[in-house]
Amino acid sequence: MRRSASPLGLVLLGLGVFLLVLSPMLAWYVEPRAKRTPTDVNITSVFTGTGTYFDQQELKPRSGQKLTVTRRVLGDVAASEKSGRAVWNVSQTIDNPRTRKLDDPRKSFQWTTERLVTDRKSNRPVDCCRAKPKNIAGEAYLKWPFDVEKRDYAWWDSSLGATVPLRYKGEAKVQGYQGLRFSGTVEPTRAGTRQVPGVLVDRPDSGQVNAEEWYSNSGLDFVVDQRTGRILYAATGPKLVLRAPGGKADKVTLLQSDKLAFTEKTQREAIGLAKDDNSRLRLVGSVAPIGAVTAGGVCAALGAVLVARRRPAPSAANG
């Protein structure tokens, strides 16, 4: 009497083999391709602190004032899809108590715009898609690369217009969430010129002069999610002053703060995004592969048993 293989056994065996093949594909193929800088971002980060700013109406510095930095990052999805890069439009305002009430970037104390274009895998800047400025460099700026290493990184400082070395300082927690900390400083560096009345920089007989802008930073501090490169916490201690052309002494303090840092709300939102990203990467990188290999092994073993047993094939006499 002929015996035929169990249809259920064949199905289970085939499913098991499929799952066993799928597991390494998820871990080695899908998961690395999931580590790509997102293009559909819409993030607002707010820094607050106290400091000094130059009151242009009263022509004198005002100290002990609340300063607010608002940075908005909006992804250009169409340009990103066309170029294969991550294209982000960045708008940043610095406000004092007076301009903060106006809620208009054009009337803020300082307003800057950028167009950041990066390789989605390496996070390195790319000169394409109308990037602004074109000289952006370094390994980190609005985010770190995926799988952040415990080493120093070159960070792009838009106020300086150059990269700054940030030293790895060990692990740190932000609202109980673990990250890696990086810190650095910027020594006084000439960052540009600004036309001002000569009297402001002790040149009363010169009319308008091209005063030198000098920038420094007493403390750049970041805590970064290791797996995704998202910035969980950021703080900065900027100082921007004017000097007379060729002068050595600071004459006017345009802006200074010992510490402008992420608000608690911005920290919570950054942590939430990092958790979501980690969950997705963990799903395709470990949870799904482990589940697939476990289920695949069970199905394949059960299917093999059923196939090995077989069952009597229907005979003509029984038909």
pLDDT at 30: 44
CB 278 within 8 A of CB 225: yes
The 10 Å CB-count burial string (b at 16+, else e) for 212-244 is: bbbbbbebbbbbbbbbbbbbbbbbbbbbbbbbb
pLDDT at 58: 82
Residue 135 contacts by C-beta under 8 Å, 6 or more apart in sequence?
A: 161
CA 209, distance to chain mean position in Å, is 39
**CA neighbor of 222 nearest in space, from 273, 125, 157:** 157
Q: Please report, in tens digits, the pLDDT of each residue of the chain (319 residues total).
A: 455 555 655 554 454 444 445 445 544 444 445 678 889 999 999 999 999 999 988 888 999 999 999 999 999 999 999 999 999 999 999 999 888 888 888 889 999 999 999 999 999 999 999 999 988 999 999 999 999 999 999 999 999 999 999 999 999 999 999 999 999 999 999 999 999 988 888 888 888 899 999 999 999 999 999 999 999 999 999 999 999 999 999 999 999 999 999 999 999 999 999 998 888 776 654 544 555 446 555 555 555 555 556 555 555 444 4
Q: How many CB atoms lie within 10 A of CB 103?
A: 11
Domain residue limits, the chain = 1-34+265-310, 38-262
**What DSSP state is assigned to residue 139?**
S
Tokens, residue 235: 């703080």
